[in-house]
């Protein structure tokens, strides 16, 4: 079993360059299904989830050439299957991203129900309701979603009850080949949505309004392969910038657009951190005590749920109390119980976390509950007394490339080690 061990109390400062966005790269890879031929994706993160998506595409007939660690050439000209294997797609919730492209190309799809982090239900009702409006018929059998458009896809207006990223992406991709015009109302506005729309338009689609609550897609007959660079990962950047707010010394994240972290950075300034924004980088440091600030997660441009755990780590050391409200994933507070093992004072009441600041964390054995929670536990170990050992780090591997190496480059005393499953392992 691999663990990450952190020795607290050492100076952490410097600059890291973030990779391409996980939440964009996976959807861009899925979109290549719709453009038979060789599409080249650059700035792709070398992480576990990308490897899983690559296996999904290979399973349906795609060929993938790894040009280097961050560039993929995906040949989908020989894709001849519309069924994805359960053992792969059950590993991550982004698996449903292949539903729209398969429907667009073949008019049918069989996709396993999604898996991934244990952060709450993966209801795909909005995906199904939206696609039904375009003429898709669904049945669910033995954990698989069977989708079929017997009369082809037809454009329509779809109003989402929640600005779901996954539903917006699936509808965008499915409607590219639909007859007529599709309008997505209350669409998700995340930067990753814009990145997907940019790729589709480069391929020949007619998508307008991405980044706003209303997206229109005018159906086209075909898409062609292109070369595209994945947008920088705002969540990886936010994780390292949160470390600057935590340890005090300046930490710079480069390779992303700070505007994609607009509300996060404003909240960190309210909490007592200093923020310097550049065009493609940002630096955060702190020279005064952390101030408690209420947080509530919401779809973009609101506070991202993917930055909630890292921010809870900060607020757990603030001088006073505050409330964090989780509006996106109902089980994302599992991280709080692990942070409490390190000395945090957090009370969970439904989808609210009441955080009472403490003076310090104590190093101990903790278990990563999910991707972002795992990274936040390593982050907490940077300022904890003694040694912190984080297990279940396969979650961290799903979304952070070279996490230990990047921390080490900042001066952190962090190592990755293998320990026996039956002894010396965190409970």
Q: Same topology for domains 2-18+233-418 and 22-229, yes or no?
A: yes
C-alpha closest to that of 290 among 266, 259, 269, 263: 269
Tell me: pLDDT of 427 over 80.
no
Tell me: pLDDT of 123 over 70.
no
CA distance 13 to 11: 6
Task: Please give the positions annotated as active site.
Answer: 117
Mean predicted confidence (pLDDT) in 342-349: 96
CB 22 within 8 A of CB 47: yes
CA distance 239 to 382: 13
Asked whether residue 323 is marked as a ligand-binding residue, the answer is no
- Per-residue pLDDT at 330: 67
Asked whether residue 306 is marked as a ligand-binding residue, the answer is yes
Higher pLDDT: 298 or 112? It is: 298
Structural domain spans, the chain:
2-18+233-418, 22-229
Query: pTM here?
Result: 0.93
Percent of the chain residues topping a pLDDT of 70: 95
The model's pLDDT over 5-56, given as tens digits with 9 standing for 90+, comes to 999 999 999 999 999 999 999 999 999 999 999 999 999 999 999 999 999 9
| CATH superfamily for domain 2-18+233-418 | Enolpyruvate transferase domain (3.65.10.10)
Asked whether residue 416 is marked as a ligand-binding residue, the answer is no
Asked whether residue 22 is marked as a ligand-binding residue, the answer is yes
Going from the C-alpha of 12 to that of each of 16, 75, 291, 315, the distances in angstroms are 12, 42, 21, 19
Q: Which fold has domain 22-229?
A: UDP-n-acetylglucosamine1-carboxyvinyl-transferase; Chain (3.65.10)
Asked whether residue 332 is marked as a ligand-binding residue, the answer is no
The model's pLDDT over 231-265, given as tens digits with 9 standing for 90+, comes to 999 999 999 999 999 999 999 999 999 999 999 99
């Amino acid at each position: 079993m691999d663990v990450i061990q952190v020795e607290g109390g050492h100076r952490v400062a410097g600059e890291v360059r973030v990779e391409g966005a996980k939440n964009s790269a996976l959807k861009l890879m899925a979109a290549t299904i719709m453009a038979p031929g060789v599409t080249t994706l650059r700035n792709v993160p070398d992480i576990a989830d990308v490897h899983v998506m690559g296996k999904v595409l290979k399973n349906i007939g795609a060929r993938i050439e790894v040009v280097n660690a961050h560039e993929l050439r995906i040949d989908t000209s020989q894709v001849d299957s519309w069924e994805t294997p359960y053992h792969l797609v059950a590993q991550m919730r982004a698996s449903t991203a292949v539903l729209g492209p398969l429907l667009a190309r073949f008019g049918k799809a069989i996709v396993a129900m999604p898996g991934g982090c244990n952060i709450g239900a993966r209801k795909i009702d909005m995906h199904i309701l939206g696609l039904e409006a375009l003429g898709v018929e669904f049945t669910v059998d033995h954990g698989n979603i069977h989708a079929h458009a017997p009369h082809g896809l037809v454009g329509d207006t779809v109003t989402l009850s929640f600005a779901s990223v996954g539903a917006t992406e699936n509808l965008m991709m499915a409607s590219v080949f639909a007859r007529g015009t599709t309008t997505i109302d209350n669409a998700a506005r995340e930067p990753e949505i814009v990145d997907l729309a940019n790729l589709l338009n480069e391929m020949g689609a007619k998508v307008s309004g991405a980044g706003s609550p209303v997206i229109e897609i005018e159906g086209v007959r075909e898409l062609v392969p292109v070369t595209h660079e994945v947008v920088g990962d705002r969540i990886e950047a936010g994780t390292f910038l949160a470390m600057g707010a935590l340890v005090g010394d300046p930490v710079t994240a480069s390779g992303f657009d700070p505007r994609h972290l607009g509300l996060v950075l404003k909240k960190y300034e309210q909490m007592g951190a200093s923020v310097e924004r550049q065009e493609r980088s940002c630096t955060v440091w702190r020279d005064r005590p952390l101030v408690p600030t209420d947080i509530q997660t919401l779809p973009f441009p609101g506070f991202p749920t993917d930055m909630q755990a890292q921010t809870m780590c900060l607020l757990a050391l603030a001088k006073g109390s505050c409330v964090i409200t989780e509006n996106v994933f109902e089980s994302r507070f599992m991280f709080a119980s692990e942070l409490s093992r390190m000395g945090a004072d957090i009370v969970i009441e439904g989808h609210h976390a009441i955080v009472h600041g403490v003076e310090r964390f104590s190093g101990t054995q903790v278990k990563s509950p999910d991707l972002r929670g795992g990274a936040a536990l390593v982050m907490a170990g940077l300022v904890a007394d003694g040694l912190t050992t984080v297990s279940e780090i396969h979650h961290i591997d799903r979304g952070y490339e070279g996490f230990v190496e990047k921390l080490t480059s900042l001066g952190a005393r962090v190592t990755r080690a293998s320990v026996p499953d039956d002894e010396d392992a965190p409970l």
